[in-house]
Amino acid sequence: MSRALQRMAVEILELAHGTSDLVLIGIQRRGVELAERIAKLIEKEEGADVPRGALDITLYRDDLETVGPKPVIGETHLPGDLTGKHAVIVDDVLYTGRTVRAALDELADFGRPKRISLCVLVDRGGRELPIQADIVGKSVKTGPGERVDVQVEELDGRDQVDVIR
């Protein structure tokens, strides 16, 4: 996983042309940890601070109606005004695209970034919305009924990606 993250950090730097207006926004929960790691990698490389934030998209989900017991809402905090910044959304798995759609709606309530890009660790296909990632750690083809589980050291005790067929 660390090699993939290293490569993703480099690609982000290229995409954003440096760190001057870069902001990394991790989607709760594992996206936040991944964003933190990538930010640290970039900081080590560039020697400049990279602001990061966390976004919980629960309240923007399009399936709140049908979900049983209400999901727990995580923390949302953003590093200041996003207007004029290049916001890079970071998440662990990209699947149907609905989480990213919710994230875009939510970010819109916080301001108007100059540009929003998407960076994911695993793209497993199966899109239900016209959404694509700008930076992908690894592509995996999966079918419905199969699962991709990402574990991160900070939350799960180890770094691991499992594809369960």
Strands (E), the chain: 22-27, 52-55, 86-94, 115-123, 135-139, 147-151, 160-164
- Site size toward other proteins (CB under 8 A) is 34
Q: Closer to other proteins at the Cβ: 77 or 158?
A: 77
Q: Closer to other proteins at the Cβ: 12 or 102?
A: 102
Binding letters toward other proteins, positions 104-143, x by CB under 8 A:
-xx--xxx--------------------------------
Residue 58 is given by DSSP the state: G
Nearest to 82 by CA among 25, 30, 10: 25
The least distance separating other proteins from the CB of residue 124, rounded to whole angstroms, comes to: 8
Distance, CA of 92 to CA of 96 (rounded, Å): 13
Residue 60 is given by DSSP the state: G
Q: Closer to other proteins at the Cβ: 6 or 58?
A: 58
Q: Closer to other proteins at the Cβ: 43 or 105?
A: 105
Q: Is residue 154 at the binding interface for other proteins, with CB under 8 A as the rule? A: no
Please, which of residues 46-85 interact with other proteins by CB under 8 A?
Answer: 56, 58-60, 63-77
Distance, CA of 32 to CA of 157 (rounded, Å): 15
Calculate the dihedral angle through the C-alpha atoms of 134, 136, 140, 141, rounding to the nearest 10 degrees. 0
Residues in touch with other proteins (CB under 8 A): 56, 58-60, 63-77, 93-96, 98-99, 105-106, 109-111, 147-150
